Structure 1
Amino acid sequence: MSSSLPPAIAIRLARSDDMPHLVRLQLDSIQTLCAKDYTPEQLEALIDSKANIRVWQEQIFVAEIAGQIVGFGALALCQPSINALFVDPNFARQGIGQQLLATLEKAALERNIRCLWVSASLTGVPFYQAQKYETVCRDSVWLSLRPVPVMTMKKVLIPPTQSEIIWTWIWYSLLILFVICAIVLPLIS
């Protein structure tokens, strides 16, 4: 009886020559994995918005199995958010997304990001929930003049310390006191 081990996943930084492949992988992933959660019009808008090479300021990590790109994730450089996390549909639900997300979270921690945000597709919500992301609100992004529903989610990577909580409480208390004084003092003078 032979046991088949899952293939080894290697994660590396993306190179410029990876970009055309990442676009194709992203489009395949949207068409295949998101079809049950979005209307054909919404899928078309999603696909149209992702049809170009990524040009945002982001750190992109690529997952490979035996030299084949099977997924990628992108961490924004100018804000504490995940811009993308896509897995080839032929390799979905094999732990690739989890490893990419762990890599993105580690990169965020290295940049001292304490809380990571994501606008998750409806398809991705259960995945992020399983990775301890909490839902903040339901939202929409407008793509090709169509609203496409997403879920804004966040994960606290480094919880605030007790002293940070106390200082925040003091700061808000002083702010409230200032507002009260600004309202009351003119009334009594």
Structure 2
Amino acid sequence: MSPTREPVSVREATPADADAIADVHTASARELGGEAYDDRQIRAWLANVHPERYPLAEPGYRIVVAEREADDRIAGFGLLDLEPSDREDESTGRIGAVYVHPDHAREGVGRAILAALETAARDAGLERLALTSSRNAIDFYRRQGYEGVETVALEMQDGVPLECLRMRKRLDAD
């Protein structure tokens, strides 16, 4: 973390955060995702990013936002699905998103978000987490203890594929 940056605080997201979450999602996918995907793939990835699509008030989800005191924008967000429909068993949850605004990338924001989601998963009694990582985030997740399971192609708008890696992690008790 840069010595000039303030510490990261993570809190539960509220419906009032929806626009800011969509802004972070868009900026992150465009700039950071652009390291791994072409313009057509980025456009397809972002086609479904809309503030109303985040399950901010729905049961079974935990959405958090990261902030820095000196910044009036959200630095990042994360989404945890406690009861994903495609889960292997009842002890597995799914990380649906960890996005960091490019202005705050590689400064510990993503780690703070992921740690908060893992704590929420443990608190809910989950033993494992699964996720599907974009190519540009694979190394981040590996550093956090996630292991690759299989390469998949996620079909985005207009049938545009994004190569991703399904990953998982066994949660240790704190």
TM-score band, normalised by shorter chain: 0.7 to 0.9
For residues 4-29 of structure 1, give each alpha carbon's deviation from its aligned partner in whole angstroms, at most 9, with x where no partner exists. Answer: 45302111000111001100110000
Q: In terms of Rg, which structure is larger?
A: 1
Instruction: Give the match's secondary structure for 2:34.
Output: coil
Matched ranges for 1:121-140 at <5 A:
121-140=134-153
How far did residue 49 of structure 1 move? 2.3
Q: How far apart in 2 are the matches of 1:27 and 1:143? A: 15
What's 1:10 paired with?
9
Instruction: Give the match's secondary structure for 1:78.
Output: coil
Distance 1:106 1:5, change over 3 A: same
For residue 60 of structure 1, the aligned residue among 63, 86, 89 is: 63
Instruction: Give the match's secondary structure for 1:69.
Output: coil
CA contact (8 A) 2:20 2:73 kept: no
Q: How far apart in 2 are the matches of 1:136 and 1:124? A: 15
Distance 1:126 1:7, change over 3 A: same
CA contact (8 A) 1:27 1:51 kept: no
Q: How many residues align?
A: 157
Matched ranges for 1:96-115 at <5 A:
96-115=109-128
Calculate the aligned-residue CA RMSD, in Å. 1.7
Q: How far apart in 2 are the matches of 1:4 and 1:30? A: 26
* Code of the aligned partner of 2:27: D
Matched ranges for 1:151-166 at <5 A:
151-158=165-172
Give the gaps of 5 or more residues in structure 2: 85-92
Q: How far apart in 2 are the matches of 1:64 and 1:30? A: 19
How far did residue 52 of structure 1 move? 4.3
Q: TM-score, structure 1 length as denominator?
A: 0.78
CA contact (8 A) 2:21 2:51 kept: no
What's 2:80 paired with?
75
Query: Runs ≥4 in structure 1, deviation > 6 angstroms?
Result: none
1:141 counterpart = 2:140: no
Q: Percent identity?
A: 29
